[in-house]
Structure 1
Amino acid sequence: MAAVSTDVYVTVLRFYADQMAFLDALDLDAYAGTFTEDGVTHHVHRDHKLEGRAALLAHAREALPRYREVSVRHWNDNYRMDLADDGSLTVTYGSLVTLTDKEGQVRIESTYAVTDLLVRVEGRLRVRSRTILRDRAAAG
């Protein structure tokens, strides 16, 4: 794995800015479109794996009622990017999810450690795999 150029770093940040904007706007089709057709999303903390874009979209639609009465924001930061010889990128970052209710009260849903494998499909970045681990209290 090699460090990425500034241009690649900015391109990846823009990819995530667009992807999270789709998710926060509840534009599930556009969000799912940022994954490969065979993309895998693994919620380690729930031992729940979604295989394929269609499964991701179905799961997101099932969860949608939970988010209709709140504003959701994903605050991602501390990106680390490594470029593989085949051009794929492994990206790790932290994610803070907030929910704002009708009265403007903000609640932190959780924080997560995320690892993505990004690939190019027809010249555009797509998530081939995403591993999400919900933060837990440190042992001891």
Structure 2
Amino acid sequence: MTIQQEGGHVSAEDHAMVQQFYAEHMQLLDAGSVDAWAATFTEDAVFDVPTLPEPLRGREALRESLRRTAKELAEAGIRRRHWHGMVAVFPQEDATLRVRCYALVFSTTLGGQPELHRVCVCEDVLVREDGRLLVRTRKVTRDDLPA
């Protein structure tokens, strides 16, 4: 796959805001804070990951999925940590932000050693609503699966 640098860059302030958004967003996910995490998406968000047969659509579907996953992980004694890095932010003509970053997912069984669970690329479209960023769309690809 060839990645081309895109025209246009965001300000340092906007880039820092995106970084802060992901720090809070991923910590909510890892804590299993279902409602707070779902609230970081637009009401009509689309969440497309290869572990699901079809994309999730809307906050309620996101809540339901995280509730199920958090329960399964807790029952198995597993903690997950998501790390986003190499965050590239591109302003779009419609005032949204297109973000592409690497996502590493670590998994630790209680009492065990942390392991790298997945290596992914995360591509989001972020929108501003009421002065805060929200995810409108998310597309995740995994390095261990064909493109």
- Normalised to the residue count of structure 2, the TM-score between the two structures is 0.87
The CA RMSD over aligned residues, in Å, is: 1.7
Q: What is the aligned length?
A: 139
Name segments (4+ residues, structure 1) moved above 3 Å.
44-47
Question: Equivalents in 1 of 2:123, 2:53: separation in Å?
Answer: 16
Work out which of the residue numbers 86, 95, 104 in structure 2 matches 1:87.
Answer: 95
Aligned to 2:62, the other structure's residue is in SS state helix
**Matched ranges for 1:127-138 at <5 A:** 127-136=135-144
Report the counterpart of residue 52 of structure 1 in structure 2. Answer: 58
Paired residue type of 2:117: E
TM-superposed CA distance for 1:27, in Å, is 0.7
Question: Equivalents in 1 of 2:146, 2:124: separation in Å?
Answer: 23
Structure 2 unmatched ranges of 5 or more: 1-6
Aligned to 2:112, the other structure's residue is in SS state coil
Superimposed CA distance per residue, residues 77-128 of structure 1 (whole angstroms, 9 cap, x where no aligned partner): 0111100122100000011101111113112211111100000111110000
Report the counterpart of residue 121 of structure 1 in structure 2. Answer: 129
Work out which of the residue numbers 19, 27, 47 in structure 1 matches 2:33.
Answer: 27
Paired residue type of 1:40: V
CA separation of 1:101/1:44 partners in 2, compared to 1, >3 Å: closer, same or farther? Answer: closer
Paired residue type of 1:99: S
Asked if the contact 1:32/1:53 (under 8 Å) is kept, the reply is yes
Q: Which moved more, 1:37-46 or 1:17-26?
A: 37-46
- Normalised to the residue count of structure 1, the TM-score between the two structures is 0.92
Question: Equivalents in 1 of 2:45, 2:145: separation in Å?
Answer: 30
TM-superposed CA distance for 1:138, in Å, is 7.6
Report the counterpart of residue 3 of structure 2 in structure 1. Answer: none
Asked if the contact 2:46/2:57 (under 8 Å) is kept, the reply is yes
Asked if the contact 1:29/1:57 (under 8 Å) is kept, the reply is yes
